[in-house]
Amino acid sequence: MPKVLQGVRVLDLTHVLAGPFGSYQLAVLGAEVIKIEAPDEPDQARFQGSDQGLNEEGMGTAFLAQASNKQSITLDLKSEAGRRILRQLVQTADVLVENYRPGALDALGLGYADLSALKPDLIYCSISAFGSTGPKRELTAYDGVIQAYSGMMAMTGEPDTAPVKCGAPVVDYATGTTAAAAVLAALLHRKNHGVGQFVEVAMSDVAMILCSSHLTGHLWNGWHPEQKGNRYPFATIGCYQAADAPLMISASNLRQQRRLWQVLGREDLVKHNNGERIRAHAIESEALREIIATLPVEHWERVLQAARVPASRVQRMETMLADEHVQSRKVLHRFDENAGALEGLTVPVAGFRLGSCDVGVSKVPQAAGAQNEQVLTSLGYSHGEIESLRADGVI
């Protein structure tokens, strides 16, 4: 099947997670993504991950997770020669994505105003911690700092305990996803109107969007979301200890809570409106604790799911990955023997499918600068000029 973004060239000047994940989502849609790193300081994610050997090779799993389908070149953008090469590449590109501190690339003559003058239909996506406006615009931050800043950590964890960050870097991934969506919107606008534009994505803004319902409630009447662990307004949504493992139940609506109490043999606890459910929280939660504790989690999953009551045991990642449902969904891609040293590398691809277009990966992650000669040759550089650039530390 065709790729949605086939023929679209993306210059990826991002590092660590949010930016690289955003450009990765464009890559799985078929864009030609050229990752550009400093020769003396490549993406720090290359040196992070679960395999120390790969970390030492600059191919850490933190990098590999969002590097498939990308080419890699190295450029010293602090040098005039490096900046000249980038400007040449910009004239061949459709999109540039960067996540430097606001103003950093402008100081090098590589900001949106500079590059759009060379390529008026360029889509220039800037990802940063706090955006390019406002008093915090020059501050840098990572996922954990934004979770702390946004209020997410203050509402996470058990009551009266220290704040807790989410186990996964959700702000980073949400920021990357948002950036990819914004670039797609800009590409559609360019197709319809023939112009490029500046696209801005701030991690702090994305964190606010992730807290939308909490923010709306607070701004309406001053209600503040506090730490409540696994407790919900309704007792029929929560985590209860079965005889052998924790079980998450989400009998959210009135029909589901009716089916839950019926299958548990407690029809006397069925409620007719949500107000009754909220007022009966203590009674219902105690009943659920007593009942769920009597039998193994496997029993409760089978019985509740058969009754169309959402429920799942709390399980570790390896158990989830062994599930036949996960294996059937094709969210993951495993590279075969053609991947050489990376044979067996398995990476998440995308959380969506397109019925008429291919979404996937085929090219393994590349070492820093692996495509230097290929890309520079395409720009007209001779072998001797490329060697000179290498000797000067430009690439």
Transcribe 48-59 into DSSP letters: -SS-HHHHHTT-
Structural contact between residues 245 and 297, judged by C-beta atoms closer than 8 angstroms:
yes
Q: How far is it, in rounded angstroms, from Cα 206 to Cα 173?
A: 10
User: pTM score > 0.85 for this model?
Assistant: yes
Task: Report the C-alpha gap between 378 and 122 in whole angstroms.
Answer: 20
> Is 172 assigned a catalytic role?
yes
Distance CA 70, CA 33 (A): 5
Active-site residue (options: 114, 172, 244, 392): 172
Q: For residue 200, which amino acid is it?
A: E
Helix or strand (DSSP H, E) at 20: helix 18-28
Element (H, E) at 292: helix 281-292
The three-point CA angle 154-156-157 to 5° equals 115
CA-atom Rg of the chain in angstroms: 25
Beta bridge partners of 311: 249
d(CA 3, CA 27): 10
**CA dihedral (13, 14, 19, 25) positive or negative:** positive
- Tokens standing for residue 255: 């029909």
Domains of the chain (ranges; CATH) run: 9-210+331-391 (3.40.50.10540), 237-314 (3.30.1540.10)
| DSSP letter string, 250-279 | E--SHHHHHHHHHHTT-GGG--SSHHHHHH
| Beta-sheet strand order (sheet of 123-128) | 70-74, 32-37, 9-13, 95-98, 123-128, 197-202
- The pLDDT profile of the chain, 395 residues, written as one tens digit per residue, is 789 999 999 999 999 999 999 999 999 999 999 999 999 999 999 999 999 999 999 999 999 999 999 999 999 999 999 999 999 999 999 999 999 999 999 999 999 999 999 999 999 999 999 999 999 999 999 999 999 999 999 999 999 999 999 999 999 999 999 999 999 999 999 999 999 999 999 999 999 999 999 999 999 999 999 999 999 999 999 999 999 999 999 999 999 999 999 999 999 999 999 999 999 999 999 999 999 999 999 999 999 999 999 999 999 999 999 999 999 999 999 999 999 999 999 999 999 999 999 999 999 999 999 999 999 999 999 999 999 999 999 99
Beta strands 346-348; 332-334: pairing state: antiparallel
Task: Report the DSSP beta bridge partners of residue 321.
Answer: none
Q: What is the largest CA-CA distance in the chain?
A: 84
How far is 285 from 272, CA to CA, in rounded Å?
17
* Residue at token pair 């954990």: 144
